[in-house]
């Protein structure tokens, strides 16, 4: 670089810094005519300082989303259950010749208090083959309870305690529940203290003897028999089971028995010591749509279901129904399929006479069926 070139660069640097300094002086002069001057900046700063310390200005508060009130409402009505089952006699070397140890297995579950008479409902599989059943209440007290009765088909059992001052559960209506509703499963998983898991209703399905509420709220071992509640703390179901993946992991498919069914079954157990069911005596099938249209194009799909088999000496057999009959109506009400039929039939009183409309070989017939109580060890 030559001396002349170096001189030019030095001149340009000096000019740049000189212009910058001049601009800053003009900008911060009190009487500056530039768009922003120091006086205005000072005023704006004082306004900011004043407003930032204003105690009356509205304050933003975080929104708390909680279901604690719903949980508090149901907690006094939930119990944990310890089940003791004899596993046989165990001998050990350090014992005297005539001494032995009774090997006892311990199971866990949950339950809810139905009313202040001391009745508690849980799952049958929780207390099955129990020698002794102990119930822990929310106030910390414990009681040995008796089994009033149970129903294996619906997996419901009723217990009774002599404890007084009980808080019965607030009962909701599962028929008002819809897919997507928030629900919570309450219980004592693995025998621990009461805990809450949350999810939504995934589906409501119909089984032969009862309906089921499907939810993704986790139901772990020990939660069985505890309540499934809605967002305001009402019981809409009793936790029953979970479908596990290989290795026992959660799949998000868990089931609860609707509370209306539970109460009806529990009332029968309390009054009669067992569940009394009407009997129809058919075994039904429901074809897929493409199968139905292929083999029975003359019958609209979704307008009923086929009888696959009939039990001997059953009401259906006595009334003259036959396999391959297609049932369309029960007592004037159309049935779209097997699930629809069971939902109607479940609440039909024992010993009622019903009118059944069928299609048999393209002919429409009406049969009168006199129902009676289902014999024990019979599946309809």
Of the residues 188, 224, 314, 325, which is catalytic?
224
Question: Nearest to residue 111, comparing CAs of 240, 290, 255, 278?
Answer: 240
Asked about 224 being catalytic, the answer comes back as yes
Asked about 134 being catalytic, the answer comes back as no
Q: How many residues does the chain have?
A: 380
Q: How far apart are CA 39 and CA 43, in angstroms?
A: 6
Asked about 53 being catalytic, the answer comes back as no
| Contact call for residues 200 and 228 (beta carbons, < 8 A) | no
> What are the two backbone dihedrals, phi and then psi, of residue 81, each rounded to the nearest 5 degrees?
-120, 130
Of the residues 32, 125, 138, 331, which is catalytic?
125
Q: How far apart are CA 270 and CA 260, in angstroms?
A: 15
Q: What burial class does residue 128 get, using C-beta atoms within 10 Å of its C-beta: 0-12 exposed, 13-18 middle, 19+ buried?
A: middle
Q: What burial class does residue 301 get, using C-beta atoms within 10 Å of its C-beta: 0-12 exposed, 13-18 middle, 19+ buried?
A: middle
Of the residues 77, 110, 155, 314, which is catalytic?
155
Q: How far apart are CA 337 and CA 330, in angstroms?
A: 12
Q: How far apart are CA 154 and CA 108, in angstroms?
A: 19
Question: Nearest to residue 214, comparing CAs of 184, 179, 187?
Answer: 179
Q: Indicate which residues carry an active-site annotation.
A: 125, 155, 224
């Amino acid at each position: 670089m030559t001396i002349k070139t170096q001189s030019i660069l030095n001149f340009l640097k000096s000019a740049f810094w000189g212009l910058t300094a001049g601009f800053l002086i003009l900008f911060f002069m009190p009487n500056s005519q530039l768009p922003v001057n120091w006086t205005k900046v000072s005023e704006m700063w004082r306004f900011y300082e004043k407003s930032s310390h204003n105690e009356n200005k509205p304050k933003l508060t975080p929104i708390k989303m909680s279901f604690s009130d719903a949980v508090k409402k149901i907690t006094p009505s939930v119990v944990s259950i310890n089940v003791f089952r004899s596993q046989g006699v165990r001998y050990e070397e350090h014992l005297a010749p005539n001494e032995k140890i009774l090997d006892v297995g311990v199971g866990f579950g949950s339950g809810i208090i139905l009313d202040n008479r001391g009745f508690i409902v849980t799952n049958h599989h929780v207390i099955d083959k129990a020698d002794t059943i102990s119930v822990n209440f929310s106030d910390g007290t414990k009681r040995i309870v008796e089994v009033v009765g149970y129903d294996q088909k619906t997996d419901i059992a009723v217990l009774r305690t002599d404890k007084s001052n009980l808080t019965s559960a607030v009962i909701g209506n599962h028929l008002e529940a819809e897919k997507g509703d928030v629900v919570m499963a309450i219980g004592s998983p693995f025998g621990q203290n009461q805990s809450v898991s949350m999810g939504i209703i995934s589906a409501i399905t119909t089984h032969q003897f009862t309906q089921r509420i499907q939810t993704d709220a986790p139901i772990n071992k020990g939660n069985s028999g505890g309540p499934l509640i809605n967002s305001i703390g009402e019981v809409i179901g009793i936790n029953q089971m979970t479908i596990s993946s290989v290795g026992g992991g959660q799949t998000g498919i868990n089931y609860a028995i609707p509370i209306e069914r539970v109460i009806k079954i529990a009332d029968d157990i309390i009054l009669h010591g067992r569940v009394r069911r009407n009997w129809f005596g058919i075994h039904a099938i429901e074809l897929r749509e493409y199968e139905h249209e292929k083999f029975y194009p003359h019958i609209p799909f979704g307008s009923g279901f086929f009888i696959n088999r009939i039990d001997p000496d059953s009401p259906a057999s006595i009334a003259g129904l036959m396999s391959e009959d297609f049932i369309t109506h029960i007592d004037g009400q159309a049935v779209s399929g097997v699930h629809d039929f069971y939902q109607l039939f479940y609440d039909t009183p024992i010993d009622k006479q019903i009118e059944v409309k069928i299609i048999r070989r393209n002919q429409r017939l009406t049969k009168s069926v006199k129902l009676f109580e289902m014999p024990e060890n019979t599946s309809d």
